[in-house]
């Protein structure tokens, strides 16, 4: 990642911050784009302001995306790659299928799917003017497979139907845009992670882990090798692909 600059939306989040740390550990520079100034600035301080630069970014607002790209370019002179890892959720997020409310649905579909399209639109416009670029979207196993509902029984966790729709939509956006601008020297791919361990109920974790081959629920760090590969020249001819990193959960 030496001499490279990567803009990460949701860069202060669980997965985004692991990506930022990994890129900096591998001698790259990151622009941490996030709505949380507090966590974004803390990560910038941790990684050092030479290697990491926090910008206030709201991926549901085109002006904010354009401004973040401008700030990133003026700080580092270029943006080689971008990762869309922002995860905006409404107050009603996580409702059961029977309880979904139209207003939450509109907000979440727009913020997550619309935001992915708006972020892609602006970063692709920038990559076109620069003459190259690589974009990685973050989908999920929930966008590829149907949920294992039996893992949720006895907990109050929900695997939302709109999450499945959004995440399969992210894979469609990846393929569409990869073809749409592949001739412009722009590569677009996605990663579909399995579940990241985050204090989920023990019964859920143990059932989930039984579906996997070795580790079970992952740590955000476990995704970083795949991200670095997709951002590097080692994947130059990989276009429009979705790489599942789930320890075999979906098999």
Residue 87 within binding range of ligand NAD, rule CB under 6 A: yes
**Closer by beta carbon to ligand NAD, 34 or else 162:** 34
189 interacts with ligand NAD by CB under 6 A: no
Number of residues that bind ligand NAD (CB under 6 A): 25
Give the residue closest to ligand NAD by C-beta: 13
Contact pattern for ligand NAD over residues 132 through 171, marking x by CB under 6 A: ------x-x-------------------------------
Q: How far is the CB of 111 from ligand NAD (least distance, A)?
A: 6
Does 195 interact with ligand NAD (rule: CB under 6 A)? Answer: yes
Interface residue with ligand NAD, options 8, 24, 32, 35 (CB under 6 A): 35
Whole-number minimum distance, CB 15 to ligand NAD, in Å?
3
CB 66 within 8 A of CB 119: no
Q: Is 196 in the site for ligand NAD (CB under 6 A)?
A: yes
DSSP state of 11: T
User: How many CB atoms are located within 10 Å of the residue 146 CB?
Assistant: 9
Does 222 contact ligand NAD by CB under 6 A? no
Of 9-17, 66-74, 202-210, 231-239, which segment contacts ligand NAD by CB under 6 A? Answer: 9-17
Choosing from 53, 76, 152, 163, the catalytic residue is 163
Residue 83 interacts with ligand NAD (CB under 6 A): yes or no = no
Tokens of 127: 């990559």
Spatial separation of the C-alpha atoms in residues 191 and 198, rounded to whole Å: 19
Between 87 and 184, CB nearer to ligand NAD? 87
Question: How far is 104 from 20, CA to CA, in rounded Å?
Answer: 30
Q: Is 60 in the site for ligand NAD (CB under 6 A)?
A: yes
Q: How far apart are CA 62 and CA 68, in angstroms?
A: 10
- Whether residue 41 contacts residue 20, with contact meaning beta carbons closer than 8 Å, is answered with no
In angstroms, the Cα distances linking 150 to 103, 167, 204, 218 are: 29, 20, 9, 20
Residue 76, token pair as written in the block: 């580092």
- Please give the structure tokens belonging to residue 2: 């030496």
Q: What are phi and psi of 96, to 5 degrees?
A: -65, 155
Q: Does 244 engage in binding with ligand NAD (CB under 6 A)?
A: no
Q: Which listed residue (4, 85, 134, 178) binds ligand NAD by CB under 6 A?
A: 85
**Min dist. Cβ of residue 121 to ligand NAD (A):** 15
Q: Tokens standing for 16? A: 């985004």
145 is catalytic: no
The distance from CA 124 to its chain's CA centroid, rounded to whole angstroms, is 16
For residues 36 and 123, what is the distance between their CA atoms, to the nearest angstrom?
A: 21
Please state, in angstroms and rounded to a whole number, the distance separating the CA atoms of residues 94 and 98: 11
Q: Which residue has the tokens 């630069």?
A: 53
Catalytic residues: 163
Give the binding site for ligand NAD (CB under 6 A): 9-10, 12-16, 34-36, 39, 57-60, 85-88, 115, 138, 140, 193, 195-196
């Amino acid at each position: 990642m030496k001499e490279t600059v990567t803009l990460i939306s949701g860069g202060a989040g669980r997965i985004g911050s692991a990506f930022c740390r990994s890129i900096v550990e591998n001698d790259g520079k990151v622009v941490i784009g996030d709505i949380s100034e507090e966590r974004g600035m803390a990560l910038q301080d941790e990684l050092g302001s030479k290697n990491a630069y926090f910008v206030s970014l709201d991926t549901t607002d085109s002006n904010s995306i354009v401004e973040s790209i401008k700030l990133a370019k003026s700080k580092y002179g270029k943006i080689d790659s971008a990762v869309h890892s922002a995860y905006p959720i409404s107050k009603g997020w996580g409702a059961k299928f029977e309880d979904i409310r139209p207003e939450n649905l509109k907000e979440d579909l727009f913020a997550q799917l619309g935001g992915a399209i708006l972020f892609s639109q602006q970063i692709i416009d920038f990559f076109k003017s620069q003459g190259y670029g690589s974009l990685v979207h973050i989908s999920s196993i929930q966008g590829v497979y149907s949920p294992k509902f039996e893992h949720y029984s006895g907990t109050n966790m929900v695997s939302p139907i709109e999450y499945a729709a959004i995440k399969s939509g992210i894979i469609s956006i990846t393929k569409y845009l990869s073809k749409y601008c592949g001739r412009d020297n722009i590569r677009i791919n996605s990663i579909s992670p399995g579940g990241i361990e985050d204090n989920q109920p023990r019964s859920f974790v143990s059932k989930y882990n039984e579906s996997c081959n070795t580790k079970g629920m992952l740590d955000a760090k476990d995704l970083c090798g795949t991200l670095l590969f997709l951002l590097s020249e080692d994947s130059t001819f990989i276009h429009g692909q979705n790489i599942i990193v789930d320890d075999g959960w979906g098999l």
